[in-house]
Structure 1
């Protein structure tokens, strides 16, 4: 009995040491990388410890070493992938690795330097584990018979569970997960969802990958400021005729010759779909292959044409965990999120944070600045300071819900933020500057039975604002817009691409054509809405299941 207890303690010691090794490898790389952040928690440490305790207790030392070599290799792939793309690996990319091996190889051999740090860490990890598992000390381990069978069962169970569940919501890598967890979940989704669909041929949503648009103007001497609102329904903005003056600043620009606004249609009904679709100029689902290619990523296009690039978000680190996987962060020079000021991974900052960050920007050369707001996300009352509680029960119609009043105040706060951003940037630079504004999606407000977003069957959820405003003698682009009152996220992305110096897709940005709105999964597996327009420009929605 004492011998068993002694061997158990030895297993616990080995599992603890190996957990420390994996944690050190990950967290040191997080501190080395500008996009990742130190995120060790007691829960993630315990999860990893239990995984390693299980592996250490397998009877065969050779099997243990093989398992650890595979795990270390998976970690290497994740780190090397992040070094190039700024994301953990998508499940689809394992599939593309084999089906597009030559393209992968051709790309990788041109950027071998990115693998130096991951490779050094990989070697240190393997050598350390091999040292801990010396053959002469193998008799000290507690070896549990048939444990390897449980490991095999687990390997089968993960994809089988995904297959049986047949979730319509695809998996996205989570930046805050440790590499082993991301690898296990990704491979489970690959074998349980993607491969069965590929083999059966029942997916059929993948769109052809389009190349980067032709470059027409080398490093235009302008600034482009892309502001992405949050959950903003244009029907509650006085700019669009709402009967409460929620947007006084934008109202004042309505007749300005440098101000163009249209009725926007979002590309998705959740942030994690709409924002990546916008910044990668995705026309319709499935846009994941296009995103992985980075051909039309606005940050990459800006960086490759001489712009310095920024992405500042009021959203918290944890709220951006999955979204960042689609944003080609490799080409973002400066990145900050709300956690910078709240010091909490799940607490966003107020949008004043974005105004404050303007002081940190060097406008000495052409700049592409992307700003992501937090207002007007639920709960609306938490997205604006108390002093912006302009609308109340007393100055609203009696039937108006308090939640709607809070939403009005959040929009008024957004209007203030926009005014201050424009004023501050105007004071900072005399270079022609274009402001492009929209929202990721809208929100269903005023319905006592259904608020919020995330559903295609509520048309209010994809009705977003859009405007372009030029300052400092920016050349007018009004002639590039038609009389058609709508514009899709895809077409807005073309506006930004054009300003960055690339060839536009249309003679007019807001072409009358079918628009596509994706549900909660960017691959389209959870549903797609096709939005057509009749002769009177009335929206005709058709749900594609």
Structure 2
């Protein structure tokens, strides 16, 4: 009896030390990070202590070490994620990590320095636990079948989520410790998101609408839709950014055939925003609408006499999921960046799009979609060396980070690409031609604590540009745009469909109404942001989970 009491006491002592180690890792990082704050309380400490006490009491030492290594790895991922995005990990991101591994790796390697401190902390943590366990084999109490109880608890969490079937999504709580966020997020992923994705029933499905009425048969025009990548309009001098990043667009902004507005993206990642745009989706879940192909712009163009083209600088593998939503059978010619790089994971520079213009037969009405790669992370890799126009030496604001300068250069490169596209099309055809430009989503740049994209809680992620420019006698219908400064992806899609000859939905394309931005899952399961406008046109944001 005395021996059992001693072993129980030893387990408690060992669990206290392990708990203190995990708590120290989190709280030290919280003090180090500018967003987080020290928040240790008795409840969270006791929760972690009980978890660690149960793990310490498992029979096999190897199983204990593996369990703590897995837990420490999740803590490492959470801290690393916070270092880059300024949030704990969202449920769907565990899935996206595997389906978008190459993109994750490409982004991570540019900011690898943020992993130094978390990695050192986790190595120290695991090493300390290893040495503690190494000398505790005969001293601790071992409870039979305890591992099965822990496994049952792991199964219970997603099962409870599935049975409860709450329509409210789950988002990480910044005040929870990393493991609690991990358990709850994985529970929601396996208990709600994956079952709904497998069954195809999200509960957010929108009614399927028919193809708009055809008003003009076979219009004798060209429509060139340029889809930018990760382009934040606030870094364009067209929108008054302090560095002159868009000299060509600046030079034509007063042209009577040029209209530009502040765009609001339909999603915060490419695989959501691009399909939503090209299928004119107003709000999630638009998957049933996409499946119907009723409002697929490529199909609508093809059915009204246009030759259809989709040229993307992005790599083959980067488009693997996206292509499923673009009614590819209605695209006459498709080529991606892999045709140049010969690597399914390596995109081409956007000069590739200039070369592809040469392949288009503009004697026939053409609907051309051009998808860029600049300004995706890593920014420095998205433009040629000769476009390193801005440097630390020649920008007035010396506090601007090198990463922001690289981003500015990528936008200057995009401006050049647009100018050359216009020039080449003017040389190839006299047919009235419309250029429409927006970006799939934006990117959070310049904030050391909140970078990248894929987050609804950062306004900058959906602040994209929009312009329409007519050449060769093409009139851009300025009277069809109001003084309202914003326009949604859905409304831009209606601009395109109207040019393709279909019924115009709005009196003004940029109508003041509720706009919807989808998070990282196209079905809306990872969250939806509704943006409304008050009488002064100020945005009112409501998160729909």
TM-score normalized by the length of structure 2:
0.65
Equivalent positions of 1:192-211 (< 5 A) are 192-194=195-197, 198=201, 203-211=202-210
Partner of 1:424: 424
Contact 1:532–1:540 under 8 Å retained in 2 = yes
Partner of 1:440: 440
Per the TM alignment, residue 364 of structure 1 is displaced from its structure 2 partner at its CA by: 1.3
Partner of 2:513: 513
Where has structure 1 moved over 6 Å in runs of 4 or more? 159-169, 188-191
1:422-466 CA distance string (max 9 Å, x none): 100110010000000000000000001121100000000000000
Taking the aligned partners of 1:351 and 1:232, their CA distance within structure 2 comes to 14
Taking the aligned partners of 2:225 and 2:200, their CA distance within structure 1 comes to 37
TM-score normalized by the length of structure 1:
0.65
Taking the aligned partners of 1:279 and 1:194, their CA distance within structure 2 comes to 22
Question: SS where residue 450 of structure 1 aligns?
Answer: coil
Partner of 2:401: 401
1:172-219 CA distance string (max 9 Å, x none): xxxxxxxxxxxxxxxx99993357785xxxx43110000000000001
Per the TM alignment, residue 405 of structure 1 is displaced from its structure 2 partner at its CA by: 0.3
Question: SS where residue 360 of structure 1 aligns?
Answer: coil
Per the TM alignment, residue 504 of structure 1 is displaced from its structure 2 partner at its CA by: 1.1
Question: SS where residue 350 of structure 1 aligns?
Answer: coil
Partner of 2:11: none
Partner of 1:306: 305
Partner of 2:246: 247
Question: SS where residue 419 of structure 2 aligns?
Answer: helix
1:365 correspondence with 2:368: no
1:283 correspondence with 2:282: yes
Contact 2:161–2:192 under 8 Å retained in 1 = no
Contact 2:228–2:438 under 8 Å retained in 1 = yes
Taking the aligned partners of 1:471 and 1:318, their CA distance within structure 2 comes to 35
Judge which range, 330-339 or 468-477, deviates more. Answer: 468-477
1:231 correspondence with 2:224: no
Taking the aligned partners of 2:340 and 2:194, their CA distance within structure 1 comes to 41
Taking the aligned partners of 2:316 and 2:535, their CA distance within structure 1 comes to 45
Taking the aligned partners of 1:452 and 1:277, their CA distance within structure 2 comes to 20
1:407-430 CA distance string (max 9 Å, x none): 000000000000000100110010
Pair 1:191–1:382, CA change in 2 (3 A): closer
Pair 1:432–1:520, CA change in 2 (3 A): same
Contact 2:193–2:525 under 8 Å retained in 1 = no
Per the TM alignment, residue 398 of structure 1 is displaced from its structure 2 partner at its CA by: 1.5
1:313-365 CA distance string (max 9 Å, x none): 00000000000010110100000000000000000000000000111111111
Question: SS where residue 535 of structure 1 aligns?
Answer: coil
1:216 correspondence with 2:245: no
Question: SS where residue 374 of structure 1 aligns?
Answer: coil
Taking the aligned partners of 1:535 and 1:351, their CA distance within structure 2 comes to 41
Per the TM alignment, residue 162 of structure 1 is displaced from its structure 2 partner at its CA by: 8.8
Taking the aligned partners of 1:423 and 1:321, their CA distance within structure 2 comes to 32
Taking the aligned partners of 1:434 and 1:481, their CA distance within structure 2 comes to 16
Taking the aligned partners of 1:232 and 1:315, their CA distance within structure 2 comes to 15
RMSD (CA atoms): 2.2
Taking the aligned partners of 1:463 and 1:192, their CA distance within structure 2 comes to 32
Taking the aligned partners of 1:233 and 1:339, their CA distance within structure 2 comes to 26
Partner of 2:465: 465
Per the TM alignment, residue 540 of structure 1 is displaced from its structure 2 partner at its CA by: 1.4
Taking the aligned partners of 2:220 and 2:473, their CA distance within structure 1 comes to 12
Q: Where does the alignment leave 5 or more consecutive residues of structure 1 unmatched? A: 1-158, 170-187
1:78-126 CA distance string (max 9 Å, x none): xxxxxxxxxxxxxxxxxxxxxxxxxxxxxxxxxxxxxxxxxxxxxxxxx
Taking the aligned partners of 1:514 and 1:189, their CA distance within structure 2 comes to 27
Partner of 1:499: 499
Contact 1:432–1:470 under 8 Å retained in 2 = yes
1:380 correspondence with 2:379: yes
Contact 2:435–2:469 under 8 Å retained in 1 = yes
Per the TM alignment, residue 491 of structure 1 is displaced from its structure 2 partner at its CA by: 0.0
Per the TM alignment, residue 374 of structure 1 is displaced from its structure 2 partner at its CA by: 0.1
Contact 1:206–1:289 under 8 Å retained in 2 = yes
